[in-house]
Amino acid sequence: MLGLTAPGIVCAEIKAEGHPRLFFDANELLKLRTARTEPGYSDIWQNVADSAEWCLTKTPRSEWIAPVADDPVYENLYDRFYAMMMDMAITEHLAFAYALSGEDRYGTAAKTWTLACCRAWKPDADAQPDGGKAYAVMRLLKGVAVGYDLAYDCFTDDERAEIRAMLSATAANYFEKYFTTPAISGEGFHTHHAIVEWSSFGIAALTLLNENADAQKWLDATVTKFTTHLLPMGLAPDGAQIEGATFWASTMQYRIFFMDALRRVTGRDLFKEFAGAMNADLALASIAGEKRKGWDRPQESVVLSPSYGQLNYYAPVLVAMAREYKRPIYQYLARWDHTLGSIQETRYITPNRKEQLLFEMGGYAYCWYDATVPADASEAPLAYCFPSVYQAYARESWQPNGIVAAIDRGGQVVIHAGGIAVMIAPGLSNESKATPTITNNDAATTLRWSEGEDTSGTLVLDRPGKLRGEWRGVPSAWSFWCLETPETIDGVLVWRRNVRLRIAEGTLIQVSPAGYEPAHAVGNGKLNLINPEPERYPLITIEPSTDKRLVIELAVNQ
């Protein structure tokens, strides 16, 4: 069993003792506080502070949400998951705000939330672990550990002992009954759930080094898992995450959480050892526009991604990658996120308890930012193909309002132009596993997908500013949706920034301004969620030619 049989001590030296130790030590913290008024940092800090003020309006949880055995539509599972995510996010964000500013009101709130998390969720320390619980409980464990580390000087000795007891009991229970089982310690467990759970467990171990006799054993098991499975196997060879693009972002977040803290506390540098596994090509391919304040919309700034997987979910990863690998393209794209530093409020709210899914990456983004890395896109390619997930991408340029086109499994197409998604089109084959192909040069990129001569799709992006799309095998009255309602001028669809789409073959039938409503459900569609800003988007219906062929021509004239 991993950890119990791993030979020797994997990380023997402790470089950063005391607290804070995970994401900065006392000397680094002084520099981070001073940097709040410096270029780059000041914008991120303002977003951190704004979200911290929002967090101060929230009330800490006082009662445990117990798991239930009979949960046919996963209502209890998502109530617990979103509740823990919310508690963790607010706790961590307040702890970062306190550490980075030294303001007592943030420190008092961080202390209150950390202790509330310990007390409300303490019963999970003794509950029988399983995969359904671990995904949320380990995230919550990480949140308590980070709150303890960053706001350490706000707690009394008795409060610190209480927090250590909760962390220790939960970690010990999960180590003995979950992490050392063959299914979880073995190589088959290496994708998204694995990285989230092991990384969170490892951060708790790093927090407790020299404060719990078993923490070294827990840390050794985590490092062994990272180096044998999670880093070598967590992404496909082409850099994609086979579970989906948003899982790529989350995978990278949780890798970086642990790897950053590990290096600071022990000196073990997995960023250098596994530089080849830290592939961000999927982000470079799919980021299409800027992120500004307000509710996220699907496909808005990252194509082929839902509302919670937009640029504010990706940008903190790119900030960290820019720091580690000094690639200006990462810094350039990260700064398209004008909310960088904020807590991420998603549209996902459970119907029963009204628990909202939150993500905290704001404090991390501030700490990971390196102002010495320039923001530049000149070294990055304009076309990408990911056979592992049946996707191909092409972009006109590295300007935020240029054309970005993507083909997904089954021929699904997304076209982004003028800063918005103007075409989100269904695939022609729901079950297809045909791999798109790509032909590329400086002047043009061609993306093709085919299941044979009768069912295929081709996108030809000519630089600058033109795209031609052709589909064969299109069903009658075929529809696509977009994020903003176009004008119809002489049969041509026109969006802002003079984005024009002409139906070259086929017939435009109807533009319904509110004709498309995305599904807002989880748990394989069984649990319908509350959306704080209900979404209805334009639906455009086209009749293909008599031979089931459709051709569009798109141009951007800025």
Q: For 514-534, how does the pLDDT look when each residue is reduced to its tens digit (9 = 90+)?
A: 999 999 999 999 999 999 999
Q: How far apart are CA 333 and CA 259, in angstroms?
A: 22
pLDDT in tens, 106-125: 999 999 999 999 999 999 98
Decide: residue 331, CB within 10 A, 0-12 exposed, 13-18 middle, 19+ buried.
buried
Q: How far apart are CA 110 and CA 91, in angstroms?
A: 6
DSSP code of residue 298: T
Decide: 383 and 371 in contact? Cβ < 8 Å.
Answer: no
3-class DSSP state of 221: helix
pLDDT band at 452; cut points 50, 70, 90 = confident
Q: Please report the pLDDT score of residue 8 as a whole number.
A: 58
No. of helices (H) and no. of strands (E), the chain: 16, 20
Q: Please report the pLDDT score of residue 7 as a whole number.
A: 45
Task: Outline which parts of the chain fall under CATH 2.70.98.70.
Answer: 383-556
Helix axes 157-174, 192-208, angle to 10 degrees: 140
Secondary structure element (H or E) that encloses residue 49, with its range: helix 41-56
What one-character-per-residue DSSP string does 241-289 give?
-TT-HHHHHHHHHHHHHHHHHHHHHH---HHHHTGGG---HHHHHHB-S
**pTM score:** 0.95
pLDDT in tens, 284-295: 999 999 999 999
Closest CA to 274 of 232, 235, 217: 232
pLDDT in tens, 217-227: 999 999 999 99
> Which pair of structure tokens corresponds to residue 285?
């391919």
Predicted confidence (pLDDT) at residue 171 exceeds the cutoff of 70: yes
Average pLDDT (253-265) is 98
Predicted confidence (pLDDT) at residue 554 exceeds the cutoff of 70: yes
Q: How far apart are CA 274 and CA 483, in angstroms?
A: 39
Mean pLDDT of all residues in the chain? 95
3-class DSSP state of 474: coil
Predicted confidence (pLDDT) at residue 302 exceeds the cutoff of 50: yes
Predicted confidence (pLDDT) at residue 59 exceeds the cutoff of 80: yes
> Which pair of structure tokens corresponds to residue 373?
């890395």
Q: What percent of the chain has pLDDT over 70?
A: 97
pLDDT in tens, 482-512: 999 999 999 999 998 899 999 999 999 999 9
Average pLDDT (358-366) is 98
Q: How far apart are CA 514 and CA 446, in angstroms?
A: 32
Q: What is the CA radius of gyration of the chain?
A: 24
Predicted confidence (pLDDT) at residue 1 exceeds the cutoff of 60: no
Secondary structure element (H or E) that encloses residue 449, with its range: strand 444-450
Average pLDDT (56-62) is 97
Secondary structure element (H or E) that encloses residue 184, with its range: helix 182-185
Q: Please report the pLDDT score of residue 558 as a whole number.
A: 57
Predicted confidence (pLDDT) at residue 3 exceeds the cutoff of 80: no
Q: Please report the pLDDT score of residue 225 as a whole number.
A: 98
> Which pair of structure tokens corresponds to residue 392?
């191909």
Q: What percent of the chain has pLDDT over 90?
A: 92
Q: How far apart are CA 97 and CA 512, in angstroms?
A: 45
Output the CA torsion 98→100→101→102 (10° steps): 60
pLDDT band at 203; cut points 50, 70, 90 = very high
Separation in Å, CA 248 to CA 160, 166, 282? 35, 31, 8
pLDDT in tens, 401-450: 999 999 998 889 999 999 999 999 999 887 677 889 999 999 999 999 99
3-class DSSP state of 495: strand
Q: Please report the pLDDT score of residue 454 as a whole number.
A: 87
pLDDT in tens, 262-277: 999 999 999 999 999 9
pLDDT band at 4; cut points 50, 70, 90 = very low
CATH superfamily of the domain spanning 26-368: Chondroitin AC/alginate lyase (1.50.10.100)
Separation in Å, CA 532 to CA 79, 348, 357? 17, 8, 12
Task: Outline which parts of the chain fall under CATH 1.50.10.100.
Answer: 26-368
Q: Which amino acid is residue 529, in one-letter code?
A: L
- The number of residues making up the chain comes to 558
3-class DSSP state of 470: strand
3-class DSSP state of 544: coil
Look at strands 456-462 and 521-522 and give their pairing.
Answer: unpaired
Residue 443, φ and ψ in degrees, nearest 5 = -85, -30
Q: How far apart are CA 75 and CA 68, in angstroms?
A: 10
pLDDT band at 12; cut points 50, 70, 90 = low
Rama region for 452: left / alpha / beta (φ>0; ψ in -120 to 50; rest): left
Residue 311, φ and ψ in degrees, nearest 5 = -60, -30
User: What CATH number is given for 383-556 in this structure?
Assistant: 2.70.98.70
